[in-house]
Homo-oligomer: A and B are copies of this chain.
Amino acid sequence: MDQLKNKKWTRDQLESVRKEVLTQWPTGKDVDLEEAFAYHQQLPRHKIFSEKLNKAHEQGKTLVQPRAGVPLIQDMIHLLTYLQDVGEADLLPTTIDSYTRQNRYQEAEMGITESARTQKAMLNGFPAVNHGVSGCRQLIDALDTPLQVRHGTPDARLLTEIAYAGGYTSYEGGGISYNIPYAKNVPLETTLRDWQYVDRLTGLYEEAGCPINREPYGPLTGTLVPPFVSHSVAIIESILAAEQGVKNITVGYGQCGNLVQDVAAIQVLQSLTDEYLRKFGYGDVKVTTVLHQWMGGFPQEESKAYAVISWGSAVAALAHATKVIVKTPHEAVGVPTQEANAAGMLCTRQIINMLGEQSLNTYSLKDEKVIIASETRCVLDRCLELGKDDMAQGAILAIRSGVLDIPFAPSRYNAGKMLPARDNDGAIRLFHTGNIPLTPELIDFHREKMEERAKYENRQASFQMVIDDVYAISKGRLVGRPKV
C-alpha cells in the first residue's frame, strides 16, 4: 500500500476497498448507494442533523443530546421515542455496542439472541451492523428528530456504510480519536486510512446533496485531558475530513471542571478550527461545537451526579456551545434506564434555559484563550513540520513521538510520556510535559502552576497527585487534595 497522505481518494480507490468492506458481514450486501441517496433526499428537513445544528449555531442556542443504545430494534425505538418525547431531546443518538466496535459481529449476534431470550440487555449498545440497513431505517422512520451514530470503532467502514444507507445524518469518530482511547493494538496509519474511507463516503453523500454531519470525538479518554490536546486532535481530524469532502463538522470538548478554562476552551475550539480549515483551503466547511459533560469518573450518589451534570450544563450554556452531550444520574453505576436518561436531560435543559442568555466575559478568560490557542498551535505546527506539510503523516509521527500525547490511553501506539494534573484553581495543566513541543514560556507557565499547588498542599507533585485528581470528582471535589 502507498504511504498515507492527506489526499482526497478517487472514486476508483474507494470502490476497490468498498467491495471488500461490504462482504465483512452479510448485511453489507444490502447497501446500494443510489438507493440510499434517494432515501436521504426524501427525508424531511427536520430529520437532518446539520440543518438543526446550523440553525442553532446561528441563533446562539445550545441543543441537548443524550447517549443511548440497547440491543433490540423495538426496544431501541421505544427508548428513543421516550427520550424524544419525555426527555425533550433536540438530537438523538444511537450508541453502538462494544462488540460491533471491535468488528466482532459474531459475538454481537450472540448478544442479540441472548438479550431476546433473557429479556435483559446483554449488549451495551445497538448492534447496527447486525440489524442492517432496514433495521436502521426502522429507527429513522419511527422518530421525528435527527439521529447520530455514536460509537468508538477503530475500523468503522462497514458500520458507516450501513448507517448512512440506513438514513443516519450524523456520525461520530475519527482516525485518532476512535483509535488511541478505544483500542490497544491498532496502528494509527490503519485507522487514519479507514477514516479517510468514512470521510470520503461522507463526501459522496454531500456531493449527492445529502448532508451528513461528522463529529471528531472530543473527550478522548475523558480523564484529565488538557484542552490543547483534544483541540489538536479535533483540528487534525477536521482537516483530514474536509480534504475528503466533508462539509459539516462538529468539534468536541470534554468539560475539565474549571469554569474559565472550559468556557475559553469551547470558544477557542470554534475559532481555531475555523481558522485552520480556512488556512488549508476548506473555508466552505460549516463548523459547530459540542461540550461533553464531565467524562471522567462520576459520583455514585444520584444527587451528587445531578450537581456534576448541572455544572457541565452551565459551562455549555455560558460558552454557547452548539450542543451538549448529557450524562445521567446513573453514570457511575451502569447504562442508564430511560427514566434516568431523561432526568439528566431535563436537568440539563433547565440549566441551559436559565443560563443560555448569560455570557461570561472575564479578565482571565482572555488570558486562558491565549494560552490554549498558543499550546494548540505549538502542537499543530510541529505536526505539519514532522509530516513535511502533510497532516496525515504529521499526525502519525506526532503521536509516535509524543508530540501529541493522550493521557491514560490504552493504545500501545501512544507515547504516554506527558502527565497532566490540576492546578490550584482546578484547571488542567501539565505536570510532566513529556515531548509536547511547548514554547519555553508555556513550559514555565505549567511548571509555576504545578509548583503553586504543590506548595499549597505541602507535598511534591507526583503520580499520587494525578491519582487523587482522577478520583476527585467521583469523591465530591475538583482538585484531589491530600487527606488531612
User: Which residues of A pack against B, CB within 8 Å?
Assistant: 257-260, 299, 301-304, 306-311, 313-314, 318, 329, 342-344, 346-351, 353-355, 357-365, 424-426, 473, 476-479
Contact = CB atoms under 8 A, between A and B. Distances in A.
A259 B362 contact: no
Contact of A354 (B348, B359, B365, B478): B478
Q: A301, A329, A342 — which one has the most chain B CB atoms within 10 A of its CB?
A: A301
Contacts of A360: 259, 362
A299 B353 CA distance: 13
Contacts of A309: 306, 310
Top 8 A-B pairs, shortest CB-CB distance: A310-B310, A307-B350, A306-B306, A303-B343, A353-B477, A303-B347, A304-B350, A362-B362
Q: Chain A contact residues: over half helix, strand or loop, or mixed? A: helix
B347 A307 contact: yes
Contacts of A302: 343
A31 to B, nearest CB: 40
A391 to B, nearest CB: 36
Contact of A351 (B310, B350, B425): B310
> Number of copies of this chain in the oligomer?
2
Contact of A424 (B299, B347, B357): B357
A311 B357 contact: no
Given A306-B307, A310-B311, A360-B362, A426 B346 contact: no
Contacts of A351: 307, 310-311
A361 B259 CA distance: 11
A361 B362 contact: yes
A426 B354 contact: yes
20 contacts: A259-B358, A259-B360, A303-B344, A306-B306, A306-B309, A306-B310, A307-B310, A307-B346, A307-B349, A308-B350, A311-B314, A311-B351, A311-B355, A349-B476, A354-B477, A354-B478, A355-B478, A358-B425, A359-B425, A362-B365
Contacts of A479: 357
Contacts of A357: 424-426, 478-479
Contacts of A329: 303
B258 A478 contact: no
Nearest to A479: B357
Q: A303, A304, A329 — which one has the most chain B CB atoms within 10 A of its CB?
A: A303
A320 to B, nearest CB: 13
Contact of A363 (B349, B350, B354, B363): B363
Given A299-B350, A303-B342, A358-B478, 18 more contacts: A257-B354, A259-B355, A303-B329, A303-B346, A304-B347, A306-B306, A306-B310, A306-B347, A307-B350, A307-B354, A310-B310, A310-B314, A311-B354, A311-B355, A354-B426, A361-B362, A361-B364, A362-B363
